[in-house]
């Protein structure tokens, strides 16, 4: 069995409020993304993804432009899939391009408050959820949702984050 490659995460914080709301927000994001990636990646090549921490106005625009839903959402994932296959960065030896994950600040805080969760824990969940989408996991069908949720719970446990599905959630 090949040793799994590394994840190169390009992290952009577009909304300054993230830093004040969640201590070490970037470190938590990197840890969560890496844990999700390592849980399923079996390719020896490295991979790259981007993670954008933004606000509701920005994610609403993305949701409207790319999903035809004119409302904010907690997380969006834009997988770099072509015909069901991951793209490589130029050649078969280059990094595998996974795609982009975008998380909305205000929606994350509102959901965390509503569900009585720590914002940092909810952020970890949304990052894990988004990275798993980039890796081909989905929750549109019951069986797929159960598989994805079980994987999320397992990854989050390694990060010390309680099961987000113990109480119903909006992911």
| Domain count within the chain | 1
Residue 85 labelled as part of a binding site: no
Q: Which domain holds residue 58?
A: 7-158
At 116, is the secondary structure helix, strand, or coil? coil
HSE at residue 155, side-chain half, CA atoms within 13 A, is: 27
pTM, 2 dp: 0.90
Is 170 inside a domain boundary? no
pLDDT of residue 141: 77
Structure tokens belonging to residue 123? 């952020």
Residue 133 labelled as part of a binding site: yes
Is 164 inside a domain boundary? no
Read off the CATH number of the domain in which 131 is found.
Answer: 3.40.390.30
Each residue's pLDDT tens digit, 44-88: 888 999 999 999 999 999 999 999 999 999 999 999 965 555 555
At 65, is the secondary structure helix, strand, or coil? helix
Strands 47-54 and 96-104: parallel
pLDDT of residue 140: 79
CA angle 91, 92, 94 (to 5 degrees): 65
pLDDT of residue 171: 59
Residue 139 labelled as part of a binding site: yes
Is 163 inside a domain boundary? no
Is 80 inside a domain boundary? yes
Quote the CA–CA distance of 1 and 15 in Å, as a whole number: 41
């Amino acid at each position: 069995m090949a040793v799994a490659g590394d994840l190169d995460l390009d992290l952009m914080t577009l909304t300054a409020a993230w830093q004040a709301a969640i201590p070490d927000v970037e470190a938590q994001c990197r840890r969560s993304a890496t844990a999700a990636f390592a849980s399923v990646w079996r390719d020896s090549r490295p991979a790259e993804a981007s993670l954008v921490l933004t606000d509701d106005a920005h994610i609403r625009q993305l949701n409207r432009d790319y999903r035809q839903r004119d409302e904010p959402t907690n997380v969006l994932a834009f997988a770099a899939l072509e015909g069901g296959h991951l793209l490589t960065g130029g050649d078969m030896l280059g990094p595998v391009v996974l795609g982009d994950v975008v998380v909305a600040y205000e929606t994350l805080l509102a959901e965390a408050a509503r569900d009585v969760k720590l914002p940092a824990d909810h952020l970890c969940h949304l990052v894990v959820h988004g990275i798993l989408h980039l890796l081909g996991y989905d929750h549109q069908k019951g069986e797929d949702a159960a598989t994805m949720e079980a994987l999320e719970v397992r990854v989050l446990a390694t990060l010390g984050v309680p099961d987000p599905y113990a109480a119903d959630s909006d992911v």
